[in-house]
Amino acid sequence: MISIRGLTKRFGATTVLDGIDLDIAAGERVAIIGPSGTGKSTLLRCLNYLDRPEAGVIRIGDLTVDAATAKPAQILALRRRTSFVFQNYSLFANKTAHQNITEALITVQRKPRAEADARADAILREIGLADKAGAYPAALSGGQQQRIGIGRAMALDAALMLLDEPTSALDPEWVGEVLDLMRRVAERRQTMLIVTHEMQFAREIADRVIFMEGGRIVEQGPPSQIFDAPQDKRTESFLRRVR
């Protein structure tokens, strides 16, 4: 069970997140949609303190992190309960595909090397990149890099997987393979919070869709409600624009 209360983030004078309250059940897959500059990425980045929120409490299981008092050890603990898939992949440039997956297992989770290697092999097979185990990110296509990015997050077995527009930096030809992989991750009931512009995808995999605007949650509900019968005018006009 994950709960977020009053999450607030300002950049200078502008409030980018305006007291976000959100609960996510274990195994729930939540999609966030909304116009550009609304604070979707900032919300994800505040959930693992890549951006430090000014206020708000985040609870994941028995861990509680309050922005007012958050200490480095708590921030580390929070990051170790979440995984992150970046829009621009952000693979470790000095590590091979295989090492990108084992790196945190060994240095952060302190797993024995053999176990980490076995896990990476299994994940590479699953994401269809077993033949690229020894390749450096620079030698991989965007789609392959993002599949490794997702594989790296899968390996961590985190209580919450955060995904920030995983397909929007991709050339159109690679979008399909990455969506397919995320579908498989979602089917396993990995708890996930995914920001996406792929409305069809959100409708397919999400248990709940959140529409955000101006740093607030405007409306949320099952995909059928948000997409077919939005209650708020802002949701409706956003959906009309993106369709």
Partner 1 sequence: MRALDIDYMLGLVPVILGYVPLTIGMALAAMVCALLLACLLAVERVARIPVLDQFVQLFISFFRGTPLLVQLFLFYYGLPQILPVLAGINGVTAAIIGLTLHFSAYMAESIRAAILGVDRSQWEASQAVGMTQGQLMRRIILPQAARVAAPTLVNYFIDMIKSTSLAFTLGVTEMMGATQKEAAGSFLYFEAFLVVAMLYWAIVEVLSYLQRRLEGRLNKALAR
Ligand X SMILES: Nc1ncnc2c1ncn2[C@@H]1O[C@H](COP(=O)(O)OP(=O)(O)OP(=O)(O)O)[C@@H](O)[C@H]1O
**Can residue 76 be called a binding residue for partner 1 (CB under 8 A)?**
yes
User: Is the CB of 50 or the CB of 130 nearer to ligand X?
Assistant: 50
User: Is the CB of 96 or the CB of 235 nearer to partner 1?
Assistant: 96
User: Is the CB of 9 or the CB of 98 nearer to ligand X?
Assistant: 9
Least gap, CB of 224 to ligand X (angstroms): 24
Nearest partner of 199 among 159, 228, 231, 160, judged by Cα: 228
Which helix (H) or strand (E) covers residue 32, if one does? Answer: strand 29-33
Give the pair of three-digit tokens for residue 4.
């977020």
Angle, vertex CA 79, rays to CA 115 and CA 182, nearest 5 = 70
User: Is the CB of 149 or the CB of 151 nearer to ligand X?
Assistant: 149
**Can residue 134 be called a binding residue for partner 1 (CB under 8 A)?**
no
**Can residue 92 be called a binding residue for partner 1 (CB under 8 A)?**
yes
Beta-sheet pairing, 192-195 with 29-33: parallel
Q: Confirm if 54 and 10 have CB atoms less than 8 A apart.
A: yes
- Scanning 1-9, 10-18, 32-40, 80-88 for contacts with partner 1 by CB under 8 A, the matching segment is 80-88
**Can residue 94 be called a binding residue for partner 1 (CB under 8 A)?**
yes
Which residues contribute to the site for Mg ion (CB under 5 A)? 41
Least gap, CB of 36 to ligand X (angstroms): 3
User: Is the CB of 34 or the CB of 143 nearer to Mg ion?
Assistant: 34
Residues numbered 44-63 forming contacts with partner 1, rule: CB under 8 A = 48, 50
Which residues contribute to the site for ligand X (CB under 6 A)? 11, 16, 36-42
Question: CB under 8 Å to 6, separation ≥6 — which residues?
Answer: 19, 20, 21, 55, 56, 57
Task: Give the span between the Cα atoms of 228 and 176, in whole angstroms.
Answer: 24
